[in-house]
Structure formats: C-alpha cells, structure tokens
Amino acid sequence: MSPAIVVIEESGEFTKDGPVENLDELVGTFTISFKMKFLQPMQTTDVWVQVTDFNGNFFKVALPLTLEISGSEPLVFDSPLRQKVVSFFDEEMLAELVSNWDGSTRCC
Amino acid sequence: MILCLNFGHIFENFTYYQNLGSDLMQIKIILSVLVLFSITFLVPSDVFANDGNDILEIASLEHDVRQGQYNSLVQVDSDTYALAYEGKDKDGFISTFTISSDGSSIVEVDTLEHDIFNGQYNSLVQVDSDTYALAYAGNGDNGFISTFTIDSNGNITAVETQSLGNNLEHDTVHGQYNSLVQVNSTTIALAYAGNLENGFISTFTIDSAAAITAVETQSEGNNLEHDTHRGKENSLVQVNSTTIALAYEGKDRDGFISTFTIDSDTAAITAVNTQSLGNNLEHDTDRASFNSLVHVDSDTYALAYTSHGEDGFISTFTIDSDTAAITAVNTQSLGNNLEYDEVRGIHNSLVQVDSDTIALAYTGFDANGFISTFTISSDGSSIVEVENLEHDTDVGQYNSLVQVDSDTYALAYASSGKDGWIMTFTIPSDEIKEKNDSDCYDCEAPKLTKVEVHITSPNSDTQRISTSSEIWHFDQDTPLPMFGDSITPIVADPGDEVEIILELTDNRTLKTITDSGTYTNFLNKPNDMNLFYANNFDEYGKVSTTFYEWHQKGDDLVYDYTNTVE
C-alpha cells in the first residue's frame, strides 16, 4: 500500500455553489487518497471508510460499492507465494515436459 | 317537520332547509363529502412553501371564509381542539376541530356563535376535562367571562354566555388585551386592560357545572390595578400553583414583567413585583407589544414581543418560583436579547416545544405568516434561531399556535380577507436537536462530499496502462453520508492498482481532521489474526483483513493479513 496522500484546500473566500462556510468562516475540502496494488484474487467484499476530526466526531460507513479481484495472481517468480505456473502451459507442452522428466532433479 | 342544517363557515354560513324524510341520509352523505372537500381543496395557492425547510406544512383548513381574527386555540384532548375567535360582524364564535396526531387531517366539528355583539381579545382556557372559560371584549368593549362544555367528540354546549344571556360582565368599563390562566382546578386569573387602559388582574372561580363566580373583579370593586399608567398587550403564565407572571406593555409603551400570587383557597390576588409597588422589571425601554410569554425550563421564561420599528424580539428571564423575583437574562435593557426579525415581528404566538426549544408563529414582512423555532439554553443565556418558514405569502395575522404532538403543531390565524384558517406543521425534533448541538464548539462529524475509485490496469502484452473510474457525489443535508440502495460492483484483476479518494468537509477547519482509513477484504476472523488489528467489522460481523489508516500525528497503520496487496 502506498502512503496516503492528503491535500487540504481551505480559504476564507466564499465561492458560489462551492462548499458551505464552516463555523471557522472557512470554505474548502480535505482530500485523502489511498492506493493499493492487489496481488491476489479477493472475493467480493465491502469497502468501508472512516474519518475522524480533532474532537472525536467521526463517520465510518460502507461505500456504495463492492470490490472483487478476480482471476489468477500475476507470475512473480521471486514471490514466496505459491504460483499456479502449471496452468500457463498448454497440454502438448506439458506432456512433453513430463515425458522428458527423468526424476534426477528436484525442484526448489 | 323542518330540519335545519347549518353548513358552518365553509360555504358562507349557508343554511339548508329540508323536509325530514328519505332524503335525510342523502343530506348527511353530502355534508360528509363537503367536510372532506374542505380539507382537500380549500387551500390557497400561495400557502405551501416548504422549499426544503425543516418546518413542513402538512394540511390547512379555511374554517371561516368571512372572518377569523383574535384567535385563541386550545387543546381539548389528543385529537380535539377548540378555537375562540372573532367572526362575521365581529361576533364571538367558538369552533372545534379534530386534528390527527400527524397533522394530516383537520376537520371542523362544531361551531357556536356565543356573542352576537362582539368577540374580540379572546383568551380561552381549559378549566377541567370538559369545561372551558373564555375572557373576551364584548359589547361596548367591556370585559366578559363565558363558559362552555366541550365533549371529547368536539360538541360544544354554551353554559354561561351572552347568547344565553347569563355570562359574567366582570368589567363594565373596559376589558381588552385579555390573557387568562388557570390557577387551580376551580380558579382562573385574568390580566387585561381596563379603565383608561390601565393594567388589572381579576380572579374568578368556575365550578364543575361551569358556573362563574367573580372573586376579585371590577364588577365586585375589589380587583388589583397593578399598573396605573398602562396595561395592554398582556401575556400571563403560571409559575406555580400560587404564582403568576405577566408580560405587558406599560408606561410609554415600554415592556414590563410583573408577578403576583393568587391564594389557592380564596383566589385573593397579591402584587409581588408590580408597577404599583414600584418593583417590577422594565425589560424594554422602547416598547413592547404583541407579547407572548412561555415557560421554558424550571425557572426560565421566554418572551416574544414587538419593539422599535415593529421588529420582532425574543428575551429571556428567570422567575424564582418561591419568591416570584424576576431577573433579566437576555433583554433589551441588558442589550443582549435576540432580534428574530429585523423587518417585522407582530402577532406573536409562542409555544414551548421541549425543555430548550420554543416555536413562534408571527406576522412578518408584508403581513405574511411565518413560523420560527429557537433553542434556549436552560439558564436562558443563549437564544439561537433554528429554522424559519414563511407559511403564508399573503397574510398571516392573529396567530394562536398549539402543540399537537412531539413534532406537530396547529396554528389558527387570519389570512387574506381576514378569513379564518387552521394550518398544521411538523417541526422535526431530531432536526432541532441537531441544531442544538451547534451550541457546542464542535459536535458535528466531517461530511463526505465525493468519493472516487480509480482502477489502473497494466497490460503486460501491450505495455499500456488503462484506467477506469467511478465517482459519487453526496448530499450534504444529512449528518452521515446517504448512499441509497444502489451498489456498484467493481471488478479488478491481480496486478491492478485501486485508488480510493475521499473528499470531505467539516464544520471546523479541515486542519483538525486527525484520522482516516479505508477497510476491505472482510472475512470471518481468522483464528491466528492478531486481535490488535481485528476491530474493523462490516455489518455481517466479518473483520477487515486489509486496511490502511492515516494518522495526522503518528505513524500510519497498515495491515494485510492475507498479503493481498502491496
């Protein structure tokens, strides 16, 4: 996960159709970005978000979406994870590999 | 045999004569339909003006197409209401209505013309379960007390009235600006402007048969002249079983608060803090008309009134229930009261909503009708306007507001052409509570304004990157984000990057946002999951096994149980 990026744009100038002026007579937005690179499949699941202010007022809600990571994980040969390499060979090539294997070498 | 059916005020006091016979049922059916139509169709085109305001108009009924002024509305039981008003030819009328608890139905039940001469400055109070006493200015603007019984269905019976020739003329000189309160189960006290428009307090007893007895009155020569200069625009409230407090317009039209005790056995009146004793409170040194005083909390009282330039003001006082001592809290005399309408605020009618909230009906700009709500702190030191609704863009005068249930209110008022109307409103108590929280420095959570989700997919074959996005904008009118039932399924592949961007606002500077997180990959809690991280659950009790928490002060917290992401 990449570090979150926070951008605060806040000023004392009111803009028409812009954000409502707050009790500190400021208008603006707080933007936070979360980045995640998915390496493995993930079943359909919710995504919840939470924001808290200095005085402990907060919301924690499920976003109106579900997230699913489908398919096989990418081949990363230096990955410590178990990889489904076998499925990337077609049947003919796999048969040739097996028939040529003499059992003298052990993998991994 | 002749049947006389009075169609009331809905259709110009139309009286219908019909031979009794088989047509009787048909007439009843027609009457019922007409009553129903009176709810549905007799709505002026300009009165429904909700415009997203939190105070909502629910229903209205034009109960008198000729005249409906000097209104005094009281609750009879949970769905029955009685109204005293000045009707056609300035005569005195009593009408009853059933109003459903949600305010959606208003039906006129009965009407009685109790005074064929005059019926102004009405003040109606309930004496016992079915007995009602009315103070009003009758023939010659003299002061009268009449009594009625009203059953739970709303049927009115005159007991001592001018129409029966047996009511009480308690002041044979003058009796205007009446304000009546029930002191105990048999005693009522009246503040009014009597001879020379000076201020007077009188007392009466009303027995279980609704018979009136003058106790201390002008007619008996023994009532209390509490202000020897002026005593108009009266609003009287009960402080406890023996003490009453009065807001009124006194000398030089200035605003005063006075207190009195009423002996619970003899109904004898004693001045405590009055002009006559030289010790009452002058709270407004300019003027104070259209007074409406209500009890807010244990010893706190709020007054809506009209001062300089017909502007509307709210002031607060405390009145000690033991000593009846009056203390100004927020007043013009202290320079700290609330000017609730800088254009105009007359014909005030204030009701208590709860221990720190009041609702006000008043006549504002261009004689239009308005409803406002205010929160008042328990000590009266803070008065904050919450909402304001212009409910009648034509005319809204002679207001009398009562509470129907926890969030429903009924208003009797005179609209265009002096016609008499009943209108119902809802004032959501949750909304008021939320606004109350604005008294606190920061009691409001940040609000989501926008969420963006971007999926970036690298293609190893083409060496290109493709991006897809979903964006949601959220309504800011609710304390928490409202998403509705629509769920967008997002499907990505291993190797894709998912970026979630939250945009938000807050009621305080955004620099005080301290924490934010995103949580996903909800699973049944794995047995070997570190409990330190196992505290973010979805609605099914599954725990987030992949999350990122940003902390303004301190290190971010990253957790990924299944090594799903990098």
Percent of chain B with pLDDT over 90: 65
Whether B36 has a pLDDT exceeding 50, the answer reads no
Instruction: Say yes or no: B519 contacts chain A, CB-CB below 8 A.
Output: yes
Closest CA to A21 of B477, B446, B507, B511: B507
Distance from the first to the final alpha carbon of chain B: 96
Least confident of B72-86, B244-258, B552-566: B552-566
Instruction: Say yes or no: B558 contacts chain A, CB-CB below 8 A.
Output: yes
Is residue B231 within 8 A of residue B274, CB to CB? The reply is: no
Residue range B209-232: average pLDDT?
Answer: 97
- From chain A residues 7-36, the ones with a CB under 8 A of any chain B CB are 8, 10, 19-20, 22-24, 26, 28-36
ipTM at complex level = 0.71
A36 to B548: CB separation less than 8 angstroms, yes or no:
yes
Domain residue ranges of chain A, discontinuous segments joined by +: 1-37
Is residue B540 within 8 A of residue A76, CB to CB? The reply is: no
Instruction: Say yes or no: B566 contacts chain A, CB-CB below 8 A.
Output: yes
Whether A57 has a pLDDT exceeding 90, the answer reads no
Amino acid at A40: Q
Distant-in-sequence, close-in-space partners of B522: CB < 8 Å, separation ≥ 6: A45, A46, B537, B538, B540, B542, B543, B544, B545
Residues B387 and B429: their CA atoms lie apart, in Å, by 12
Least confident of B49-53, B96-100, B269-273, B394-398: B49-53
Is residue B307 within 8 A of residue B299, CB to CB? The reply is: no
Closest CA to B434 of B18, B34, B150, B54: B54
Percent of chain A with pLDDT over 70: 66
Closest CA to A98 of A81, A86, A80: A86
Burial class of A55 by CB neighbour count within 10 A (0 to 12, 13 to 18, 19+): middle
> Residue B475's closest chain A neighbor by CA?
A19
Residue range B161-179: average pLDDT?
Answer: 97
Helix segments in B355-503, DSSP class H: 429-436
- Ramachandran area for residue B197 (φ above 0: left; ψ -120 to 50: alpha; else beta): left
* pLDDT for position B90: 96
Instruction: Say yes or no: B42 contacts chain A, CB-CB below 8 A.
Output: no
Closest CA to B424 of B437, B449, B407: B407
- Calculate the alpha carbon distances from B206 to A93, B73, B167, B244, B467 in Å: 109, 20, 12, 18, 83
Closest CA to B372 of B449, B452, B478, B292: B292
Tell me which of B465, B520, B522 to substitute to probe the interface with A (most A C-beta atoms closer than 10 Å).
Answer: B520
Least confident of B175-179, B296-300, B352-356, B400-404: B352-356
The confidence band for B552, taking pLDDT boundaries of 50, 70 and 90, is confident
Tell me which of A6, A17, A21, A50 to substitute to probe the interface with B (most B C-beta atoms closer than 10 Å).
Answer: A50
For residue A38, what is the DSSP state?
B
Closest CA to B144 of B170, B177, B119: B170
* pLDDT for position B431: 53
* pLDDT for position B114: 98
B489 to A68: CB separation less than 8 angstroms, yes or no:
yes
The confidence band for A95, taking pLDDT boundaries of 50, 70 and 90, is confident
- The DSSP code sequence of B260-319 is EEE-TTT--EEEEE-TTTT--EEEESS--EEEEEEE-SSSEEEEEEE-GGG-EEEEEEEE
The confidence band for A108, taking pLDDT boundaries of 50, 70 and 90, is very low
| B224 DSSP β-pair partners | B201
Residue range B106-114: average pLDDT?
Answer: 97
Q: How far is B550 from chain A (nearest CA, A)?
A: 7
Residues of chain A in contact with residue B508, where contact means CB-CB under 8 angstroms, are 22-24, 53-55
A51 to B490: CB separation less than 8 angstroms, yes or no:
no
Hunting for tokens 């606002």 — which residue is that? B505
Residues B200 and B218: their CA atoms lie apart, in Å, by 9
> Residue A57's closest chain B neighbor by CA?
B445
Least confident of A91-95, B94-98, B220-224, B328-332: A91-95
Is residue B362 within 8 A of residue B291, CB to CB? The reply is: no
- The pTM assigned to this predicted structure is 0.61
The confidence band for B76, taking pLDDT boundaries of 50, 70 and 90, is very high
Q: What is the mean pLDDT of chain B?
A: 86
Higher pLDDT, B307 or B434: B307
- Calculate the alpha carbon distances from B127 to B213, B217, B285 in Å: 13, 19, 36
Residue range B429-436: average pLDDT?
Answer: 54
Using CB atoms, pick whichever of B484, B494, B521 lies closest to residue A39. Answer: B494
> Residue A8's closest chain B neighbor by CA?
B510
The three-class DSSP label of residue B26 is helix
The confidence band for A3, taking pLDDT boundaries of 50, 70 and 90, is very high
Residue range B325-334: average pLDDT?
Answer: 94
Using CB atoms, pick whichever of A8, A45, A57 lies closest to residue B445. Answer: A57
Least confident of A81-95, B134-148, B466-480: A81-95
Instruction: Say yes or no: A95 contacts chain B, CB-CB below 8 A.
Output: no
Higher pLDDT, B53 or B505: B505
For the CA atoms of B189, B232, B138, B182, the dihedral, rounded to the nearest 10 degrees, stands at -20
**Long-range CB contacts (< 8 A, 24+ apart) of B530-538?**
B533/B559, B533/B561, B536/A48, B538/A45, B538/A46, B538/A48, B538/A62
- Calculate the alpha carbon distances from B149 to B27, B114, B401 in Å: 28, 12, 22
The confidence band for B442, taking pLDDT boundaries of 50, 70 and 90, is confident
* pLDDT for position B527: 85
Half-sphere exposure of B151 (CA within 13 A, CB side): 5
What radius of gyration, in Å, describes the C-alpha atoms of chain B? 31
Is residue B523 within 8 A of residue B542, CB to CB? The reply is: yes
- From chain B residues 232-291, the ones with a CB under 8 A of any chain A CB are none
Distant-in-sequence, close-in-space partners of B28: CB < 8 Å, separation ≥ 6: none
Residues of chain B in contact with residue A52, where contact means CB-CB under 8 angstroms, are 446, 513-516
The confidence band for B54, taking pLDDT boundaries of 50, 70 and 90, is confident
Structure tokens at B454: 């971007």
**pLDDT tens track for B502-513:** 999 888 889 889
Q: How many residues does chain A have?
A: 108
Helix segments in B390-547, DSSP class H: 429-436
* pLDDT for position B445: 85
Residues of chain A in contact with residue B489, where contact means CB-CB under 8 angstroms, are 44, 65-66, 68
Closest CA to A35 of B465, B559, B454, B487: B454
B483 to A71: CB separation less than 8 angstroms, yes or no:
no
Whether B262 has a pLDDT exceeding 80, the answer reads yes
* Pairing label, strands A58-69, B488-492: parallel
B512 to A39: CB separation less than 8 angstroms, yes or no:
no
Full set of structural domains in chain B with CATH? 42-439 (2.130.10.10), 447-560 (no CATH)
Whether B147 has a pLDDT exceeding 50, the answer reads yes
The three-class DSSP label of residue B366 is helix
The confidence band for B73, taking pLDDT boundaries of 50, 70 and 90, is very high
Residue range B459-481: average pLDDT?
Answer: 74
Tell me which of B455, B480, B493 to substitute to probe the interface with A (most A C-beta atoms closer than 10 Å).
Answer: B493
The confidence band for B52, taking pLDDT boundaries of 50, 70 and 90, is very low
Residues of chain A in contact with residue B446, where contact means CB-CB under 8 angstroms, are 30, 51-53, 57-59
Helix segments in chain A, DSSP class H: 91-100
**pLDDT tens track for B375-419:** 888 788 888 888 889 999 999 999 999 988 878 899 999 999 999
Distant-in-sequence, close-in-space partners of B541: CB < 8 Å, separation ≥ 6: none
Higher pLDDT, B355 or B460: B355
Using CB atoms, pick whichever of A8, A34, A46 lies closest to residue B522. Answer: A46
The three-class DSSP label of residue B250 is coil
- From chain B residues 429-468, the ones with a CB under 8 A of any chain A CB are 438, 441-449, 451, 453, 460
Instruction: Say yes or no: A69 contacts chain B, CB-CB below 8 A.
Output: yes
Closest CA to B513 of A16, A89, A50, A43: A50
Structure tokens at B158: 């005159």
Whether B42 has a pLDDT exceeding 90, the answer reads no
B538 to A46: CB separation less than 8 angstroms, yes or no:
yes
Compute the Cα dihedral for B386, B391, B397, B399 and give only its sign.
Answer: negative
For chain A, give percent helix, strand, coil, nearest 5. Answer: 15, 45, 45
Whether B19 has a pLDDT exceeding 50, the answer reads no
Whether B49 has a pLDDT exceeding 60, the answer reads no
* pLDDT for position B200: 98
> Residue B439's closest chain A neighbor by CA?
A23
Residues of chain A in contact with residue B558, where contact means CB-CB under 8 angstroms, are 1
Residue range B224-251: average pLDDT?
Answer: 96
Q: How far is B343 from chain A (nearest CA, A)?
A: 25
Whether B461 has a pLDDT exceeding 90, the answer reads no
Tell me which of A9, A21, A35 to substitute to probe the interface with B (most B C-beta atoms closer than 10 Å).
Answer: A35
* pLDDT for position B392: 95
B556 to A4: CB separation less than 8 angstroms, yes or no:
yes
- Calculate the alpha carbon distances from B366 to B48, B222, B292, B401 in Å: 17, 44, 21, 20
Residue range B354-360: average pLDDT?
Answer: 85
* pLDDT for position A18: 62
Using CB atoms, pick whichever of B451, B504, B517 lies closest to residue A29. Answer: B504
Residues B176 and B138: their CA atoms lie apart, in Å, by 9
